[in-house]
Structure 1
Amino acid sequence: MIRSWALSMLLAAGVSAASAADLTVVFVNPENFRDAAYSRSFPSERDRAEVLRDVQQHLQRLADRYLGPGDALRIEVLDIDLAGDFNPLRRGGSEVRVLTDITWPRMELRYTLSRDGQVIASGHERISDMNYLVMARRNSGSDRFIYERPMLDDWFARRIVAAKEHG
């Protein structure tokens, strides 16, 4: 089990190392994250590693797309609360994530964006998408990160891309 988790972390780090964008993502105390597992209310390290890998990979794609030469972005992920919640009344079998209008996705982030060594933006934010159920999203059935991805896209555009344009 620990080997699988370590492999997931190495794969996530490999995505970062192979990329041209200067992005550092640090997960601060992920064992304390509110809800960072796709299929269990009490996740193992392996369960958590899947979510952390998806967050890392998506942030890397955004950085690859929007960061230019001389840009460096450090993001500390302080908490993750995925969309939905597990039904506490269900017994036996696999747990089912239930999506409601009050279980929107949330993350807490601390970030620093630098250009040529000079900080142009930084902050500590709690981001969320209260309208995650309103937006029509196509789901192939295998995309478990479908509600969190638009939330990160929106945050990245509002904070990082906007700071690059004005910084």
Structure 2
Amino acid sequence: MRPLFLLTLIAALVAAPAHAARTVTDPSLPRALPADGAVSVEWTDPAQFSDLRFSNNRWEAQQGDWVTQLARHLQERAQARLPAGQRMDVTITDIQRAGRYEPGAGINYSHIRVMREIYPPRMTLNLRITGADGQVLAEGERKLSDMSYLQTGSTINTDNLRYEKRMIDDWLRRELPSPQAVARGDAG
């Protein structure tokens, strides 16, 4: 029994540095997605994002690659909606993910993100859309939020970023309506 414990401990210690290095604030990581098609997405320093600055558990909040995942989702969905010949450049300047770490929940729960109506997902980004001729079609700052994130959507979805991704999808439907929606006069 003892050798099994030692092997488990050694495996955990070897894996710990790899896990610890996987944070959104790692300065060696890129802050932009590879150019892919007509949509480019980059982001400012994640250490300055609201999700980390106002977190009650900064260590837990910076774990993983959630900034890259959200940027990739935005790029893929925008690419699918952007009219042919247009280009979209996005810089994400702030993210506040849905939920918060609540310190009063106790030490056993300090790593759990609590979802409450008062903790909606938010994102701020700068946008520039240009036509095939280079003319600027849309430009400026956009502030995204989903104040009713707990009332809509499926409870079956287990994606940790489902609320943020849905917020991005809703915004893209408004920002880049499909040709059919434009013809009907709505934003679908």
TM over 0.5: yes
Alignment match, 1:123: 140
Larger proportion of strand: 1
Encode CA deviations 1:65-120: one digit per residue, 9 max, x unaligned.
11243211111111100000001122157611101111110011110111121110
Q: Following superposition of structure 1 onto structure 2, how do residues 40-59 of structure 1 map, counting pairs within 5 Å?
A: 41-43=57-59, 47=63, 50-59=65-74
Corresponding pairs, count: 156
Indicate conservation of the 8 Å contact 1:139/1:146, yes or no.
no
Indicate conservation of the 8 Å contact 2:38/2:86, yes or no.
yes
Q: Following superposition of structure 1 onto structure 2, how do residues 110-149 of structure 1 map, counting pairs within 5 Å?
A: 110-116=126-132, 117-141=134-158, 143-149=159-165
Q: Distance in 1 between matches of 2:146 and 2:130?
A: 27
Encode CA deviations 1:26-53: one digit per residue, 9 max, x unaligned.
21121110116xx982147962x51111
Which shifted more, 54-63 or 77-86?
54-63
For residue 154 of structure 1, what is the amino acid of its counterpart? D
Indicate conservation of the 8 Å contact 1:9/1:53, yes or no.
no
Give how far 1:3 is off: 6.4
Indicate conservation of the 8 Å contact 1:110/1:123, yes or no.
yes
For residue 143 of structure 2, what is the amino acid of its counterpart? R
Q: Following superposition of structure 1 onto structure 2, how do residues 101-116 of structure 1 map, counting pairs within 5 Å?
A: 101-116=117-132
Identity of aligned residues (%): 29
Alignment match, 1:88: 103
- Show structure 1 runs of 5+ residues with no match: none
Q: Alignment partner of 2:74: what SS?
A: helix
Q: 1:26 and 1:159, CA in 2 relative to 1: closer, same or farther beyond 3 A?
A: same
TM-score normalised by L of structure 2: 0.69
Q: Distance in 2 between matches of 1:46 and 1:132?
A: 22
Q: Distance in 2 between matches of 1:95 and 1:45?
A: 9
Q: Distance in 1 between matches of 2:60 and 2:71?
A: 18
Q: Alignment partner of 1:147: what SS?
A: helix
Identify which of 31, 42, 45 aligns with 1:26.
Answer: 42
Q: Distance in 1 between matches of 2:47 and 2:107?
A: 24
TM-score normalised by L of structure 1: 0.77
Which structure ranks higher in relative contact order (CA pairs < 8 Å, sequence separation ≥ 6)?
1
Q: Alignment partner of 1:144: what SS?
A: coil
